Amino acid sequence: MNTLLSSPDRPDAPAEVAVRFEDVSKTYAARRGQSTVAALADIDLSVRAGSILGVIGRSGAGKSTLIRLVNGLELPTAGRVLVGGTDVANLPEEELRQLRRSIGMIFQHFNLLSSRTVHDNVALPLEIAGASRAEIRARVDPLIDLVGLADKRDRYPAELSGGQKQRVGIARALATRPSVLLSDEATSALDPETTRSILDLLTTINQELELTILLITHEMAVIRGIARDVAVIEGGRIVEQGDVFDLFTRPQHPTTRAFLAAESGRALPPFVAEHLSATPAPGSQQVLRIIFRGAHATDPVLSQITQQFGVAVNILGGAVDAIAGRPFGTLIVGVPEDPPLLEHISAFLAARDLDLEVLGHFALPAASPAQALGEVSHVA
C-alpha cells in the first residue's frame, strides 16, 4: 500500500462499512410559508470501505443533498448518517471539524483560489488545520507528483487546463489524509478524454491508497468507468442499487433503463427506430435485443442460432464491451416473424443465462433483407 496518506491513528483494516445512511430523510422549509420540500426520503444505503460507489440521478433528484450529509454540511431531518460508525449529526463542533478532515471532497468547478499557485492551493487545508511548514512540505509535493503535476507546482489556476485544475482539486482533497473521498459531479465540466484520465486517476487512488470513494453523477459512462457499486436516485429515493455489472446488464427500474437507453449498443439505430412498429406487417421482421453476459458472453451465439434453427439473423446494431472487467455485449437483430421460432430462440438464450428483449417489428423498406441491410449501411 502507498503510505502517502497513511496516518498513525488510521486502522490497518478499515471497517466493513465506511458510510451508512439509515432511513435518512431531509426536508427543507419552502419560501413564503409554503409546505416543506422533501429532498430525500427513506434513504437506506451503505458504502463499503475501500469501494467506489456511484450515485446517479437527474438534476433535482437529491444527489447533492445526499453527499452533503456525509460531511455535515447538511443534517438529516430524520434517520442517521454514520461515517466510520460515528453519527455525524450528533457531533460537537470541534469533533465535527476533526471528522471533516477525514473526508475529502472534489467539485465540478474545481473551487481553486486564483491567487494561489498549485502548491499553495493543495497546501490550503493543511494551513487551516495548523500544520507546520515542514509537515506541509512533506505532504504537498508528493501529492502534486501523485496527480501528475510536478511540472506545474508553481503555476496559477489560470495557466491550467480543466483536467489539470481537477487534478489540483484531487490533490487538495487528499491533503488531510482522508479515509473517504466525495466527488460532486467532478467530471461534468470536462471533455470525454479528460474525464477518462480523471477516472483513471481516481481508480489508482482508490486501489493504491485504499480510499473509499462516493461519487455522484448524472452520467452512466462515469458509473461504468469507475464504480463497483451503484445506486440510482429519483425523486429523493433510492429506486435501485447493487453491483454495477448486474445493474447495467439487468436493470429493473424504469429510471435505470432510461439512463441506459442511450448507452452504446442499447439504442436502436435511427433508421430502425423510425420503422419500428408494435404490430407485424407484410415483410417485417421481429426485432430483438440480446444481452450477452456471464460465462456465455463471448460464445458465437448468433451462428449457433442460425445452425440450430436454420434461420437467417440480421444484425441491426450492437456493441461489445466490458463492465467492471467482465465481458458484456448487446446485439439488436432481426429474425423472421414466427412465434414458435421466437419461443425456441428465447429458450436457447435462457439456457445460457442470456437475456432477450422483444422490441417490436421492423418493416423492411427494400424488396429483400439483404437489400434492406444495404440501405441501412448506405444511410449510416
Domain containing 336 — which CATH number? 3.30.70.260
Are residue 93 and residue 206 in the same domain, yes or no?
A: yes
Contact between residue 235 and residue 37 where contact means Cβ atoms under 8 Å apart: no
**Is the pLDDT reported for residue 378 higher than 80?**
no
Collapse the DSSP code of 48 into the 3-class scheme (helix H, G, I; strand E, B; otherwise coil) and give the result. Answer: strand
Residue 90: predicted pLDDT:
93
Cα diameter, the chain:
80
Q: Are residues 202 and 288 in the same domain?
A: no
- Is residue 379 over pLDDT 60? no
- Per-residue pLDDT of 255-308, as tens digits, reads 998 888 766 567 788 888 888 899 988 888 999 999 888 777 788 889 999 999
Q: Residue 106 above 70 pLDDT?
A: yes
My answer on whether 214 and 256 are in the same domain is yes
Exposed / middle / buried, residue 315 (Cβ in 10 Å: 0-12, 13-18, 19+): exposed
Indicate whether 205 belongs to any domain: yes
What is the arithmetic mean of pLDDT over 80-106?
93
Residue 132 inside a domain? The answer is no
Section 353-364 average pLDDT: 88
More confident: 369 or 185: 185
- Binned at pLDDT 50, 70 and 90, residue 174 comes out as very high
**How far is the CA of 127 from the CAs of 71, 134, 142, in angstroms?**
20, 11, 17
Burial 144-170 (b: 16+ CB within 10 A, else e): bebbebeebeeebbeebebbbbbbbbb
Closest by CA to 265, choosing from 216, 208, 328, is 328
Report residue 57 CA to chain centroid gap.
Answer: 10
Whether residue 123 is contained in a domain is answered as no
The tally of domains found in the chain comes to 2
Confidence of residue 376 (pLDDT cuts 50, 70, 90): very low
- CA nearest neighbour of 52 among 12, 22, 19: 19
The answer to whether residues 276 and 366 belong to one domain is: yes
The reply to whether 310 falls in a domain is yes
Chain mean position to CA 335? 34
Q: Which range has the worst mean pLDDT, 169-173, 203-207, 316-320, 342-346?
A: 316-320
Grid look-up 437467417 returns: 312
Is residue 294 assigned to a domain?
A: yes
Instruction: Quote the pLDDT of residue 258.
Output: 86
Question: What is the pairing mode between strands 276-277 and 355-363?
Answer: antiparallel
Query: Which of 260, 284, 304 is the last residue in one of the domains?
Result: 260
Phi then psi for 84, rounded to 5 degrees? 60, 30
The residue-averaged pLDDT of 53-67 equals: 93
Q: Which of 34-38, 42-46, 87-91, 99-103 has the lowest mean pLDDT?
A: 34-38
Query: What is the average pLDDT across 214-231?
Result: 91
Task: Give the integer Cα–Cα distance in Å for 24 and 249.
Answer: 29
Strands 229-234 and 284-292: unpaired
Q: Which of 262, 251, 255 is nearest to 221 (CA)?
A: 262
| Mean pLDDT over each residue of the chain, to the nearest integer | 87
pLDDT score for 273:
86
Is pLDDT at 240 greater than 50 in this prediction?
yes
- Mean pLDDT value across residues 120-131: 94
Query: Looking at the domain assignment, is residue 156 inside a domain?
Result: no
The model's pLDDT over 329-338, given as tens digits with 9 standing for 90+, comes to: 888 999 999 9
Calculate the CA dihedral of residues 303, 304, 308, 309 and round it to 10 degrees: -50
Go through the chain and tell me how many residues it has: 380
State the DSSP code for 76. -
Give a yes or no: residue 35 inside a domain.
Answer: yes
Say yes or no: 256 and 275 in one domain.
no
Are 207 and 328 found together in one domain? no
Distance of CA 166 to the CA centre of its chain: 18
Q: Are residues 300 and 371 in the same domain?
A: yes
Specify whether 206 is located in the same domain as 274: no
pLDDT at 116: 96
The pLDDT, as a whole number, for residue 34 is 66
> Do residues 289 and 251 both lie within one domain?
no
Task: Decide if 298 is inside a domain.
Answer: yes
Q: Which of 207, 228, 260 is the last residue of a domain?
A: 260
pLDDT score recorded for residue 253: 93
223/289 same-domain check:
no
Which burial class, exposed, middle or buried, applies to 16 when counting CB atoms under 10 A from its CB (0-12, 13-18, 19+)? exposed
Residue 372, judged by CB atoms within 10 A of its CB (0-12, 13-18, 19+), counts as buried
Beta strands per DSSP E along the chain? 17-28, 37-48, 52-56, 78-83, 86-87, 103-107, 180-184, 212-217, 229-234, 237-243, 276-277, 284-292, 314-323, 326-336, 355-363
CA dihedral 155, 159, 162, 165 (to 10 degrees): 20
Strand order in the sheet with 17-28: 37-48, 17-28, 78-83, 86-87
Give the end of a domain, one of 202, 234, 260: 260
Does one domain contain both 242 and 371? Answer: no
Q: What CATH number is associated with residue 32?
A: 3.40.50.300
Look up the domain containing 251 and give its range: 17-102+177-260
Q: What is the pLDDT of residue 188?
A: 87
pLDDT of residue 1: 37
90 and 188 housed in the same domain: yes
Q: Which residue has the higher pLDDT, 209 or 377?
A: 209
